[in-house]
Structure 1
Amino acid sequence: MAGPTDRDSVQMRLAAIVIAVTMLLWLAVQWLGGQYGWAAKWAFLADLAAIGAFVWSLLVTWRIWRRRNDA
């Protein structure tokens, strides 16, 4: 199996950062919404944004995995 290229390493790092930051921001928005009594629509908007970021990270990770297996 071939090792990761520089491009793959950068993309893996970016996907990891997106996952970590998304989770922290999602938790913060959920907590703030509970503290300040925000409407449920804002919680759903935060959920939708987090799902989008997680799906993007999953697709990037899948592409890296496919590229490494094809090599």
Structure 2
Amino acid sequence: MAEHDRNSEQARKGRIVAIVIAGTALFWIAATFIGAEMGLSQRVRALFDLIALGGFVFALAMIYQIWRQRQKNEG
């Protein structure tokens, strides 16, 4: 039963990571498009790029945590 709980917890974390990645990508695409249409300065567009980069780094960190947890559970 404990293994089932661990698997469902890992699956939940995996879904969260997928949502973070998809949401960050949609934000980045929308921010780039809106920034170009509104004529925002390069500084503001770079800020949006850095925010998106932060979202992707956060997702990568979560993926690493899931991977380490799976390695710990298998061995």
TM-score above 0.5, yes or no: yes
Q: Aligned to 1:57, which of 49, 56, 59?
A: 59
1:10 has 2:1 as partner: no
Task: Give unpaired runs (5+ residues) of structure 1.
Answer: none
Give the alignment's Cα RMSD to 1 decimal.
1.6
Write 1 or 2 for the structure with the bigger share of helix. Answer: 2
Distance 1:5 1:22 in 2: 26
Cα deviation digits, residues 41-70 of structure 1 (max 9, x gap): 111111111111101100111111111111
Cα deviation digits, residues 12-59 of structure 1 (max 9, x gap): 100100100110111111011111101111111111111111011001
**AA at the equivalent of 1:68:** R
| Paired-residue identity, % | 34
Structure whose CA Rg is larger: 2
Higher relative contact order (CA 8 A, sep 6+): 1
The size of the alignment, in residue pairs, is 70
1:33-44 matches, within 5 Å, as: 33-44=35-46
1:68 has 2:70 as partner: yes
Scaled by the length of structure 1, the TM-score of the pair is 0.89
